[in-house]
Structure 1
Amino acid sequence: MRFALLGAGVFTLSLFVSQGQVGVRSSLPLPVLVAVAAVAGLAAWHARRSWWPLAVVGAVAHAWLVVWPPLLVATYFAGLSLRSRRHLAAYAGGSAAVIGLSAVVGHVRGGTYAVVTGAFGNALVMALAMIGLPLALGLWTRARREVLAAARERAERLEREQVMRAEQARAQERARIAREMHDVVAHRVSLIVLHAGALEVRAADEETAQAAALIGGIGREALTNLRDVLGVLRSPSRAPGPAGGPPQGPGGQDRLRPPPTLGDPERLRPPPTLDDLDRLLDQSRALGIAVTRHDEGEARPVESTVERTAYRVVQEALTNVHKHAGDVGTDVRIRYGPDALEVEVRNDAPGAPREELPGAGWGLVGLRERVELLGGTLRTSAEEGGGFLVSARIPA
């Protein structure tokens, strides 16, 4: 639509100029002038595809009839389209040649034509008005468009990077939640199932045995469901956003944990450290596993995150002993080094087969991530006698 209006404007202005509005009146008949103006208008309308026809028409019309609108518009498109300095210089030189040719034609025709196009002052004004100003305007318009396009692209890139950072943070938070759920919930549910199985075997009456079997079945189902939940949390799929996911708290974090209440001491208990390790070992001893603790080196205070990670290493190793090894002897070794805390859990060869508990398969993976986040290393290996070793070294 705008190019149609441009074509109509060039046609009207060209016809107006050719009728003698610059001090000269053409001797050509009106139909010829209308045809020249119409060709100029069509070339301006075609400029949406290519502006070179408009430049050719403008050069001929100006040199022949001193009709300047087509050349002025073509010069604007040249500044808007030409990229290299060489092409711009070539166009400016060609336009200057058109101005010179118009001056030569004016001298040949004589009279008012010679004054309008041949005088140095008039030729200079025409060159500035038809070449300098529209060319500068075209260059400025192109530069402005490029700046706006670059700003828009930069804003879109920053938005994409922000989305990627948010998704990365969300994925890290999901992995952290998965590790915590596996370390805490899976371990305790496994102990519940094992205690229920022991109670079922040792129950003196049928009713107690049935209740223990029911508890064990529910616990195994809970472990299976937990495995599915951990798989979802660790999947690379995009975490649900505010519009489609669970409600979010301040800072955009998912409110996956209920707030602590004054009537629930378990929720108010601080995260476990090495001071809680004996209680963890007693839980395994209650299931018939002979757990022995060995402390080496001079015990000293270390960072809470280091103690908590060491506790999780022992917890996960004992959980795997419960699941896969049975009632076997297990050694837990805590070694305080000069710059690191070392934890080793070594169990003997598996004893009598026991019921296999469903697991999520992410225990050692999450444990390795937890240790490596602190700059440490985790090593797991099978022993020659059939046992298994879990060893972690955590900088402290």
Structure 2
Amino acid sequence: MRGLRASRARVPAALADAGLVAVATGDAWLAVWDTSWSAVALAGLACAALTLRRHLPFVVVLLTVPGTLVADLVVAPLAALFALAERSRDRRLLAACAVLVAAASAAPWPWHDPESRDRTWTLIQFVYTLAGTAAPVLLGQLVQVRRDLSQRLAEIEEAREHERALHAQAVLARERAQLAREMHDVVSHQVSLIAVQAGALQVAAKDTEARQAARTIRSLSVSTLDELRNMVTLLRASGGRATELTPQPTLADIRRLVATSGIDAELTGRLPDAISTPAQRAIYRTVQEALTNVRKHAPGAGATVELWRDGDDVGVTITNSRPTRPSLPLPGSQQGLVGLRERSEILHGTFSSGPTSDGGYRVSTRIPAQPK
């Protein structure tokens, strides 16, 4: 199956169109070779229109209807219905096109006033033809769903890889932080005691060799303390992302957060750098959580991050547009939004979130610029 998909991907679009038009032309020739020139022209139009099925599938369906009405065409109308069903999500339109093609195929031509017996057979033929036209519609919808599912699975796998990388970095950061604390609290303390005891021995010793040995021990202890401090600094700085031992994010980090969010996001507005550190951290976490939710629950949507100031209050509003692709039902506990609301209330601010009128979502936080 994988080899078949790879071979289909390697076939040029122009060659595939030419092959389909050739098959449709052969089918049309068998249907119209002994009819009028008008029927031949309409059948030819239906076959030629298949070259536009990738860009104008609905128009192609309409162009195949006249040829289907005057001749018993099979390939052209079914291929047009499949192309439309593969690209359109409007099921009412698909049903209407399937009925239209079935009616054109079943209707007698040239038109005359049929007897009751003929009407019955026309109705029976319409029902059977409708079943035939439903097949490419269902197949096209299946191909569309499979394509969407493959895309979502790829996105989910990418998100999982990202989460695994973040988890590995967090574990590594915690281990380095614990090692740094142990080195600082235990090893450095003990080496400091050695240096103090060596200094006391250097002062109290009467023997020249003993004083020289104490001086050497004290010098080595001080040098070891300097090396330990450097190692602790390196461990604290090598965690990758922010940990409890590294500086917390501020307003200066929001631009980089928006740029690396993985979605089409725009940052507008500006806030003064003089606002309190807790307020800066709350605004950063609000933007981070909102963009994460857009990536998870609104695939293909764009977002706008607006920083603003209103009197003594500052805030941020994140608004995303309507998703362009259907999203799979991913698990979510809403704890991220609850945490943002609690953080805002602790800082005597307000938090709001909810859907917009155009199918998007909006998250907003208002916080006093300085603590009350």
Instruction: Give the structure-1-normalised TM-score.
Output: 0.50
Contact kept, 8 Å, 2:39 with 2:71, in 1: the verdict is: no
Q: 2:17 — aligned with what?
A: 7
Contact kept, 8 Å, 2:17 with 2:50, in 1: the verdict is: yes
* 1:38, distance to aligned residue in structure 2 (A): 5.5
1:16 lines up with 2:26 in the alignment: yes
Q: What whole-Å deviation, never above 9, does each CA across 1:87-108 have from its counterpart, x for those lacking one? A: 3223322442343345456142
Match of 2:224 among 222, 225, 235: 222
Which letter does structure 2 place at the counterpart of 1:78?
L
CA distance in 2, matches of 1:5, 1:81: 20
Match of 2:123 among 120, 142, 155: 120
1:233 lines up with 2:235 in the alignment: yes
CA distance in 2, matches of 1:81, 1:225: 65
CA distance in 2, matches of 1:219, 1:134: 82
Q: 1:58 — aligned with what?
A: 64
Contact kept, 8 Å, 1:178 with 1:234, in 2: the verdict is: yes
Q: 1:178 — aligned with what?
A: 180
Aligned positions of 1:285-300 closer than 5 A = none
* 1:2, distance to aligned residue in structure 2 (A): 4.7
Match of 1:40 among 41, 49, 52: 49
Which letter does structure 2 place at the counterpart of 1:67?
L
Match of 1:106 among 106, 109, 120: 109
Structure 1 residues 110 and 43 mapped into 2: Cα distance closer, same or farther (>3 Å)?
farther
1:25 lines up with 2:31 in the alignment: no
CA distance in 2, matches of 1:134, 1:59: 16
Secondary structure at the residue paired with 1:237? coil
Greater relative CO, 1 or 2 (CA 8 Å, sep 6+): 1
* 1:174, distance to aligned residue in structure 2 (A): 1.6
Q: Please tell me the root mean square deviation across aligned C-alpha atoms, in Å.
A: 3.5
Q: 1:166 — aligned with what?
A: 168
CA distance in 2, matches of 1:175, 1:143: 47
Structure 1 residues 25 and 10 mapped into 2: Cα distance closer, same or farther (>3 Å)?
farther
Which letter does structure 2 place at the counterpart of 1:200?
Q
Q: What whole-Å deviation, never above 9, does each CA across 1:23-64 have from its counterpart, x for those lacking one? A: x733228984785365234224xx1x3423322322233234
Contact kept, 8 Å, 1:39 with 1:57, in 2: the verdict is: no
Secondary structure at the residue paired with 1:119? helix
More divergent stretch after superposition (59-68 vs 181-190): 59-68
Contact kept, 8 Å, 1:43 with 1:57, in 2: the verdict is: no
Structure 1 residues 68 and 141 mapped into 2: Cα distance closer, same or farther (>3 Å)?
same
CA distance in 1, matches of 2:51, 2:88: 22
Which letter does structure 2 place at the counterpart of 1:70?
A
Match of 1:195 among 194, 197, 205: 197
Greater Rg by CA: 1
CA distance in 1, matches of 2:84, 2:43: 26
Secondary structure at the residue paired with 2:30? coil
* 1:134, distance to aligned residue in structure 2 (A): 0.6
CA distance in 2, matches of 1:59, 1:236: 68
CA distance in 2, matches of 1:161, 1:198: 54
Secondary structure at the residue paired with 1:108? coil
Structure 1 residues 37 and 10 mapped into 2: Cα distance closer, same or farther (>3 Å)?
farther
Q: 2:77 — aligned with what?
A: 71
Structure 1 residues 26 and 110 mapped into 2: Cα distance closer, same or farther (>3 Å)?
farther
Unaligned runs of 5+ in 2: 1-10, 242-372
% identical equivalent positions: 27
Structure 1 residues 152 and 75 mapped into 2: Cα distance closer, same or farther (>3 Å)?
same
* 1:191, distance to aligned residue in structure 2 (A): 1.1
CA distance in 2, matches of 1:56, 1:31: 17
Structure 1 residues 73 and 2 mapped into 2: Cα distance closer, same or farther (>3 Å)?
farther
Secondary structure at the residue paired with 1:178? helix
Contact kept, 8 Å, 2:70 with 2:110, in 1: the verdict is: no
Which letter does structure 1 place at the counterpart of 2:26?
F
Structure 1 residues 26 and 10 mapped into 2: Cα distance closer, same or farther (>3 Å)?
farther
Q: What whole-Å deviation, never above 9, does each CA across 1:337-385 have from its counterpart, x for those lacking one? A: xxxxxxxxxxxxxxxxxxxxxxxxxxxxxxxxxxxxxxxxxxxxxxxxx
Aligned positions of 1:327-346 closer than 5 A = none
Residue-pair matches, total: 229
Structure 1 residues 34 and 98 mapped into 2: Cα distance closer, same or farther (>3 Å)?
closer
CA distance in 1, matches of 2:39, 2:111: 23
Runs of 4+ in structure 1 over 4 Å off? 29-35, 101-105
CA distance in 2, matches of 1:95, 1:175: 65
CA distance in 1, matches of 2:72, 2:40: 17
CA distance in 2, matches of 1:30, 1:127: 22
Structure 1 residues 15 and 33 mapped into 2: Cα distance closer, same or farther (>3 Å)?
farther
* 1:19, distance to aligned residue in structure 2 (A): 1.6
* 1:135, distance to aligned residue in structure 2 (A): 0.8
Which letter does structure 1 place at the counterpart of 2:155?
E
Q: 1:93 — aligned with what?
A: 96
Which letter does structure 1 place at the counterpart of 2:88?
L
